[in-house]
Structure 1
Amino acid sequence: MKNKIFLFLLVSAYTINSQEKSINDYFTKKEVKNLNQLNLSLNNYTFNDVDFNKDLKELAYYNKKRKQNKVWSYVLSGTGAFLLATGLVIDAGKDSQHGYKSLMYLNSAVYFGASIPFFVGNIKNKRRMRKKLLFVEEKLNTLQ
């Protein structure tokens, strides 16, 4: 029984102090999720190259920012479309609705205008991510 416990402790100490590093030692769970969505083959990569790890982190960052900008752009433009539709539905003939229709149009224009930088940011981050992804895939092929 003592031999089994000693062997277990020896094996567990070896695995704890081994030089092999997994992806979770360098990256957060969200970064791992972002990298896995890009279908990179990181199974054989040992994560010893610090510069390449920075490139992977940058790739995960661009993917995250691209998705955030995409969500915000669709939320703001959807709200603008809803306000525009509401402004069109309001009957202008009623005196009690004075000014609401023009207010809806104005708010719709503001929301549409606010969504433009997010659409542009989405496109820029997508372009940056593609460039970095080409570099990362090429480097992964040479490292493996």
Structure 2
Amino acid sequence: MKHGVHIHGLTFMRKRAIFGSIYILAYLLLSALVSFNDALDDKFYTNPLWYRLLYMPLVFTLFRCRFYSAWLLAECMCMSAGFGAYPLASKPKPGQGPTDLVALKHAYEQAPNTIAYDFETIHNIDEWKCESAFT
């Protein structure tokens, strides 16, 4: 019996898809308010200073929402295909895979339906840490 049959990617996708839909919605709402090309037009500089100062954070937020939604969509696609699922006992890390290879071997010797899996290896970005970490 294959090990991948017991991996339910949709369960793991739900949490990431919720955040992804929030970023997509924020992107669509912000793109209705501001555009990346607004600053290229000469009319932009006739706007008051407060508008130009407010424009920059809005555009940066729009830019981040675009990237966050793309990264989360990529994660969801990998989860739906079952890529990056390793047994939780192997202590998988983002971009590194399982770090405890002995535990990985022991996990695969168990019955496949008793193994707890994790998709941490394909976790592209932690948005909260990215936005709140000190630099």
Q: TM-score range by the shorter chain?
A: 0.3 to 0.5
TM-score, scaled relative to structure 2:
0.41
* Structure with more of its chain in helix, by fraction: 1
Indicate the structure (1 or 2) with the bigger Cα radius of gyration: 1
Structure (1/2) with the larger strand percentage: 2
